[in-house]
Amino acid sequence: MKNDLRKLRLFDEASHLCDIVWQGDFGKGVSTGSGVWSDLGANPCVLYGPAPATGVSNQGLPTPQWRLGMTINGDYGSEFVYTKLVLASTTDLLPGDAYFLDGNFTMTLFSATNASNIIGAEVVIGQVFAPATLAGTYYFWAQRAGRAAIRAIAGSVANGQGETNASTAGTMKFPASATAGQKSASPITGIVASSGLTFTGTTVNGSPYITVVVSASTGGGSTDLVPGMTITGTGMPSNACIAAIDKVGGQWRVSIGTSTTGAQSTLQNATANGTAVTFTVTTHVSANLYWPTLAKQN
């Protein structure tokens, strides 16, 4: 009973995917700002790899011995599958990136060239924040069900259905009606429109932090916020993004990063003092996934 109560308290404090890592059994959760899990060692916000070169031992980071295609569950109705990602060049990995899987659970980023997006392939969402990741072979837990923040282009609407787009690789669009020439990523349903994710917070001129953060989501706290989101609002530099989310005392805090490619983790300062200022996320929407696949050509 004591452990159950501890677990409930931690879920009350947690407000988005990367707030808690469960370590060991269900009663031993530790708030670390890096994942929500009931399975020992599994964490959707961690990138594993690179894989050792053929015939060479003890090279690179150790890769956990999970089987590709293995699934585990998180909170908010989420389910994740263990996948492989091969990067041919230095790449920004951002939470909300959209991928499709082949039969061996190897991921391919959604392409802006729609012919490259394979009909029938399973769609998953990455939750890893790893700017400027070097070329190599990596592994992580990709989300295929539940509530998620997904990178999406302008023109997405609340209750819009997910699809590919010709604008930006790795992103989706949630239009009111199907776009000719694109593939459906279904079922994925948007909850808010473009720029519909907002939160309030306090800034201090010259400080790289937004404090007293409260999401506009009914979950409160920092619900639906993830690192890598581009944000706008009074006191924000023109290229601001979320570099990190943590908790100081009983209040949530956002670190102000730089949305320039490869520099999302580079902190920069607020340009004005402000209390309960509203900030808008311009790069992501909140959506529900139901084990989607890439379907027919629209």
Residues 140 and 185 in one domain: yes
Distance of CA 135 to the CA centre of its chain: 21
CA distances from 152 to 37, 44, 97, 196 (A): 26, 20, 9, 11
Q: Tens digits of per-residue pLDDT, 81-119?
A: 999 999 999 999 999 999 999 999 999 999 999 999 999
Asked if pLDDT for residue 18 goes beyond 80, the answer is no
Domain range holding 34? 1-43
Residues 186 and 203 in one domain: no
CA distance 136 to 130: 13
Give the number of other Cβ atoms within 10 Å of residue 89's Cβ: 7
Percent of the chain clearing pLDDT 70 (strictly above):
79
Query: What is the total count of domains within the chain?
Result: 3
Residues 84 and 171 in one domain: yes
CA distance 10 to 29: 7
Contact between 168 and 155 under an 8 Å Cβ cutoff? The reply is no
CA distance 213 to 192: 19
* pLDDT classification of 157: cutoffs 50, 70, 90: very high
Q: Tens digits of per-residue pLDDT, 216-249?
A: 765 566 778 899 999 999 999 999 999 998 888 8
Residues 101 and 32 in one domain: no
pLDDT, residue 38, reads: 44
Residues 107 and 189 in one domain: yes
Does residue 208 lie within any of the structural domains?
A: yes
Residues 183 and 211 in one domain: no
Could you tell me the pTM of the whole model?
0.84
- β-pair partners for 211: 202
Residues 76 and 166 in one domain: yes
Contact between 190 and 290 under an 8 Å Cβ cutoff? The reply is no
Residues 77 and 124 in one domain: yes
Residues 211 and 240 in one domain: yes
Q: Tens digits of per-residue pLDDT, 172-214?
A: 999 999 999 999 999 999 999 999 999 999 999 999 999 999 9
Asked if pLDDT for residue 42 goes beyond 60, the answer is yes
Residues 125 and 165 in one domain: yes
